[in-house]
Amino acid sequence: MTEHAAAGGTTTLGVGMVGYAFMGAAHSQAWRTAPRFFDLPTMPRMRVVAGRDPQAVRAAADRLGWDDAVTDWRELVARDDVDLVDVCTPGDTHAEIAIAALEAGKHVLCEKPLANTVAEAEAMAAAARTAAERGVRAMVGFTYRRVPAIQLARQLVAEGRIGEVRQVRAQYLQDWLSDPKAPLSWRLDKKKAGSGALGDIGAHVVDLAQFITGQRLTGVAGLLETFVRERPVPASFSGLAGEAGEGTGPVTVDDAAIFFGRLSGGGIASFEATRFAWGRKNAIRLEINGSRGSVAFDFEDMNLLHFYDADDDATTAGFRRIVVTEPEHPYGGHWWPAGHGLGYEHAFTHQVVDLVGDLAAGRQPHPSFDDGLQVQRVLDAIERSSASGSGWVDLPAAAGEPVAG
């Protein structure tokens, strides 16, 4: 595929987005904002957004800044002015859309989790490998990787600043389902969402743990639980919140997932994902302990990384509260002066920056669909473990399987 030439010699990257809810809004903000703060080798053009409801998708296009709106994603995929398809729909549609786009020669950015089943994810990864041979690239959107403090954590681990990784402690805590009267969302429907806390937020901490350590999980055991099995059918939704309507329906996914595993480098890891932790709004907590130090992160203070360097003298050693907003830091110097922190959405902008840079350079962006497939296998193993008395499930490395881009 060739990028289109823009006026003045800059090439452009025509983008079409499928879906325009929470993730669609975040992706749109990123496409709009990235060129304002970063020098991009290719200029994204927000060509078209697809959605089923004609009026709603038209309104979304106007609000979110897309030139055009269509009601059939196939039409979007087929358009000449679309070079990249950005998939922001629920997980049950990822495979079909992404594979069609790749086959049509479009790059793909697909929200996580890659798919609702390993089989779908395998098909997607296969399609991505085939497409890559033609220079068509696919990436999955584990966006939290692009939080500067997370990037810094990975960098410190890679530089050996904490030595050999021994333990990972990862939690993703939310509370939006704590109230039994919170209504049924599509996120509680196994058909749409694949799984509950496990796939929605557990997937993130699995990816982050592997990304920061540069290691993959080689086996897991886990326990899933659904605390509230029946909920009101929603009348309306906005973001994660909704208002209850009449009647109730079954929750068919997990409310919470606890699991542990072994890492390819010899360490061990514990995980928890829950939407029932009253008071924890979006607490992604990661701590990695190595033989020479530790790093720790909590998304509730997303501009901070805590770093313990065991090589500091015993009198003054202590977790360093690093405000990750210096020019020396990942994505630093492009936004505001030090201490003028970033928010949730900035990671999406960084994702665009990295993706556009990789595409322009002809590099495989990461996390690739293979990376996404590997996470899907981990999630699947946890579900199988839970279903069979929490016993151990091995996760053999696939041939040539990458881990962490």
In the window 164-183, what residues touch a copy of itself (CB under 8 A)?
Answer: 166-167, 169, 171, 174-176, 178-180
Q: How would DSSP label each residue in 117-179?
A: SHHHHHHHHHHHHHHHHTT--EEEE-GGGGSHHHHHHHHHHHTTTT-SEEEEEEEEE--TT-S
At 140, list the tokens. 């999955």
If one asks whether residue 239 binds a copy of itself (CB under 8 A), the answer comes out as yes
Using CB under 8 A as the binding criterion, the count of chain residues that bind a copy of itself stands at 105
Closest approach of a copy of itself to the CB of residue 364, in Å = 27
Task: Identify which of residues 66 and 369 has a Cβ nearer to a copy of itself in the complex.
Answer: 66
Task: Identify which of residues 103 and 179 has a Cβ nearer to a copy of itself in the complex.
Answer: 179
At 277, list the tokens. 């932790």
Residues present in the chain in total: 405
Separation between Cα atoms, residue 321 and residue 314, nearest integer Å: 17
Cβ atoms of 331 and 147 closer than 8 Å: no
Closest approach of a copy of itself to the CB of residue 310, in Å = 5
Q: CA nearest 82: which of 46, 126, 130?
A: 46
Among 34, 77, 109, 152, binds a copy of itself (CB under 8 A): 152
In the window 301-360, what residues touch a copy of itself (CB under 8 A)?
Answer: 301-303, 305-310, 312-323, 325-329, 333, 335-346
Closest approach of a copy of itself to the CB of residue 166, in Å = 5
Closest approach of a copy of itself to the CB of residue 363, in Å = 25
At 190, list the tokens. 């196994």
Helix (H) / strand (E) containing 346: helix 346-361
Cβ atoms of 350 and 178 closer than 8 Å: no
Closest approach of a copy of itself to the CB of residue 368, in Å = 26
Q: For a copy of itself, which stretch binds (CB under 8 A), given 49-57, 68-76, 128-136, 288-296?
A: 288-296
Cβ atoms of 252 and 230 closer than 8 Å: no
In the window 100-129, what residues touch a copy of itself (CB under 8 A)?
Answer: none
Per-residue x/- track, 368-397, a copy of itself (CB under 8 A)? ---------------------xxxx-----
Among 94, 154, 161, 204, binds a copy of itself (CB under 8 A): 161
If one asks whether residue 401 binds a copy of itself (CB under 8 A), the answer comes out as no
At 263, list the tokens. 């890492």
Closest approach of a copy of itself to the CB of residue 176, in Å = 7
Separation between Cα atoms, residue 252 and residue 232, nearest integer Å: 13
Closest approach of a copy of itself to the CB of residue 195, in Å = 16
